[in-house]
Amino acid sequence: MQTRLIHGFTQTRASWRGVVEATGGGRVVAIDFERANSFEATIERLAATSNRSIWCGYSMGGRFALALAVAHPELVEHLILVSASPGLRTQAERAQRRAADELLAQRALHDGPSAFIEAWLAQPMFATIPANAPGIIERSAISSEQIASDLRVLGTGSMPSLWPSLAALPMPVTIVTADLDQKFTAIGDEMGALIVNAHRHRLPGGHAIPLEQPERLAAIIQDVHSAAAKKADDTI
């Protein structure tokens, strides 16, 4: 069973390098997903190029992995959500987020990718990312047009609320957050209370767990692999 890793906003698959190395590679593969002209179409494009796997998504990638699990549960053996959310509950909240993301998109187009990413990473939620974290250099190759498109098409305001779908998820779901990231810790706790087969992990550090805690996250992924392998053996 393979684990597919989906990266977050302004990242590439290189951001998972520390996690992949800590697992020993092989069954754990970081992907660069192919964008489409809507959130839903991006999920369908992801589904069309995938087979049944363990899916692990960080932040924006966690929203993709969750949406994939809702739309195509047959493709998801186990879902790992890292610093992720099911979206915003109301249309008003989504409209407000789209407006805020449009301002960010315009800033990215005006300032260029390097200045935008520098300002993005200067937020308090990313203050604990190590200076030598993997994938930082690769981020410099992301265009301002891609950043703007991701904000407009793939942002939290452009996706449907997945909160109503959580209780019906048929697969086990591992939820991972970090203690300094109070917002997503609260979201993770709420998701854990709604998902029938939820497994909750709280790590030290901040929002960017794959960059800050690659070994700890790799250990969680390996535990999920072991559980999936045991399940397969039990069904033979």
Per-residue pLDDT reduced to its tens digit, 196-224: 999 999 999 999 999 999 999 999 999 99
Rounded to whole angstroms, the Cα distance separating 60 from 174 reads 16
pTM value is: 0.96
Question: pLDDT by residue (tens digit) across 103-136?
Answer: 999 999 999 999 999 999 999 999 999 999 999 8
Burial class (CB in 10 A: 0-12, 13-18, 19+), 212: buried
Distance of CA 119 to the CA centre of its chain: 21
Q: Indicate if the alpha-carbon torsion angle 93, 109, 33, 10 is positive or negative.
A: negative
Give the contacts of 164 (CB within 8 A, at least 6 positions apart).
none
HSE value, Cβ hemisphere, 13 Å, CA-based, for 85: 17
User: What are the structural domains of the chain?
Assistant: 3-235 (3.40.50.1820)
> Does residue 25 have a pLDDT over 90?
no
Residue 155 near residue 85, CB atoms below 8 Å: no
